[in-house]
Structure 1
């Protein structure tokens, strides 16, 4: 065994040696000063985490290997579970056993856990049962918990102690009421092989599991529903999983020799569509996301949980575009059936009859900033303006023949509508007179423009084009604002400003989502990868913290869009060392303690 410095990644002292066979389980005491280990050699050992030296003699008594150890919340008692079918309790100060072994299981005991208040002990066994014990008397509490059809690999209490989660060889996870011993809801199913470990999030609202199928999965602990798709990357059995103390990340270890840290919110796929997803839009409150798909549906999603909320059915062909009204009460969609439809965002029911008049596919829609009008752009070379209350057509713009209106966007004051299409020009229209307000803005090479977007302050206009570039214009004089943004490998289908106007998000046929600094034109971080096919639409959440992306791979993904310095510091345990600063930042820049409340990591021994 080795101890490691979590700030530097360096080993702390020499390996801890003493066990004669494999170490099967280890756990830190609540105060971090002691490490307990259980081994195939039938012994339990306690170690001083500062010196790495053993504390007293091995704890002996088991006649088979020890597969699980756990400290009581106050650190005074240690429980050990053994393949000899027993559990033993030990005084951590004296190393002496507390009472007789806990007996009752008919096969090896594989997992043990104390309740948060320390009064109850849970054990899981190869005999398929879970048992609860009074830690003071050593007596069983009620009957064994039965329901699993395979051996138990892991048991864990919820933070409030009212629930117990169990992972089993039968591929399932079960959640139990500690008071009644009854299961809560149906088993959590999804892993296709033995579930090895399970853990609650610090707030008790989620579960994470790791399995023999090499995947990590997240679950809603209240509903039992899966959260997002499985987290994949390990190449072998996932042995252990846990949440970070802030609950924002998951850590997993595997037989493949790696430990991985996952951000469940980073690129989490929302699955449910059966064909390409063509458009996404956040609700103004940011709690819902709408997606439009080639499967002829619009779907809404809970942004926090990733769960589908509703399916809007009515279009007779692919739905190519979707938008929320500014007040969040309505959803508009347009599709291959040449219609625009308006839906009640809460109920998912259509509001009135479809808006008809276009003679070809609807490519884009946009609500006016005040929500009273809806603009629809079509491949029939027209843009139509509709009254959102009555559905009455208010006006129409004809774009040059054969160019189509692939994308439309209102300026923040609602006075100008920008449109773009198959020819490399951006057209700007007066939304009252429906006349052009100036000559077209040209895109070099006549490359088709996939998307247009105004900045929130109306001072800039961005356009993505099929030549792999993104261009930004200054609205005051309609001159380019710097050089084109270059990074995508292939056509760029979508672009959108962040709510503060400082960043752009773009999605391209290279399957990536990219973030850009508007002031410098430089990429903001690395490309966001995860989609298997082209990304055709992107949207910022109203608070600017998330980007949603739609892809031909049938999924919607949610990505973290930014991280403040304080948010990054919350995830660290120390500032980088002076040596790391010189190596990673620059020897010519004075050291800065980026996180004032955190210590500075020491330099490795022998360095200056």
Structure 2
């Protein structure tokens, strides 16, 4: 957690506005589903989809540490102090009476206990183990009807069949299969073999599917067994390019994902998709992943690492059968591109529908299916006429990715998945929307606003009447960042587009582009020189310095805009995972907020905060501290005396930059994505992952 402190000034929250983000869509039993937000769950019933049938709040709210059982009778949640609760959702019970289990824990590491629910919610198990420990974790199985502890294991997490009649534990001895009515000893064991490793396990009500790997032949294969007896029924030998097998609910079909690359040292995926087999091995259909439209890489970026992957097709494929097995949802994803979901008929192989930007999709019954899209829409589709206009059930918010405050603090410009919104900070009143906007900035006099768009356009618009003053278009990629360049003879904006190694300078009145900055970060790693483009930048208030960070787990660079060579300095000792940077008002300090998992890409959340001293030709570290969670945003006050720091927990701490001490804390309910002080210092704004914007009056004169 961020250091504890007492606020040094009278910050008071005056407004919170925005639509909460739908974190996920959860299928429930009996024709119901739930939408999870940071505040809890909204349950919908197919009998009346336009009305929320039940609301289940999570108090205090948290993100994203809550899980609802499929029966919606039990709730697992974790508060901001890391305590874990298992709660029975009974109308007649008070909260204290409904708590079945309470476990202390650490919210920021992998060593805290976690609680998991069986498919129907009749059982739950507590996983208690420490990260990087040689000791196997302790697993305690509970019956949720009364909270009774049933049995305790060392290692081997249980996996339940969909009807909860059986569960399987993967142990050093092999796979142990239990009848849930008799837990004293396993029904049978599928032993391990020195020549064969077990890769994966899947369960339906009737089938136990085991993906194994034959070490000598370097070939995976899949066994389908009767889960009640362990009898081997079918074996499917996987092709070299096949990656994962998913059985249909009736066990008669296998959906197998595959991926093919070009065989190069740094391979490019050239084909991916799903093959649909019968259990006897007959290939029925093959579904290919769609192509990805490439984003042009400017010539200035030749030989430079950029954030866009080069694969020409979607390379991440996941599948999900409908409960009746008659249709197959195939979601094609990528690290960058928007996800695409195809709905196929399993008998004919016909593509019934295609959805772009839908994170969740499931068939509720034989007649309709429900989707949650990345723009926050929950919709119902008719399987008989999937091309027809869907019925919109609800609209939720989307995470805010960019924040700009007008200099007088009266307006906030917020960028999310769908575009930009202009709102009043006093009450959140919506003034204007800009569809497709990806970046935004205000002019110093609060007369105009500059917007960048997903198609590469830049617009200069009047705040008085929203009239278009000028438009520039020199990009084929989304605009990532905009900054008004102060102290210039003509109104000028700095812009950075996706995958571009240049920060370009535009005169707004004429639309003329000035000489771009070649903003490349250069590193020497293990004797290899790596060049990397920046994907974000910040401008000093005086306009003479620019700091940019890379998209990868590296650091940042600082450029002098008045210097012909552009580059002021590049640090030898780069911090890892810089998420945000901010200049002080006098331009003499630069703050970097960092996020980096221990052990590389995986591990407990860790972060860092650093203050850098900027002299005429040098950048030196002045103060730093390590933290036990990610830093998502940083911002200086108008007099540079305070630094606001936003965390993945939703906390915002205040640092006295003269004393180099934490002196205050503010709270939101989910990870902070943006921070900004008004130019006069009287207002602080924070945006969060739950789609909300928080406004505080700072108490400054």
Which TM-score bucket, shorter chain as reference? Answer: 0.3 to 0.5
**More relative contact order in 1 or in 2 (CA 8 Å, sep 6+)?**
2
| Higher CA-based Rg | 1
Report the TM-score when normalising by structure 2: 0.38
Greater fraction of residues in strand: 2
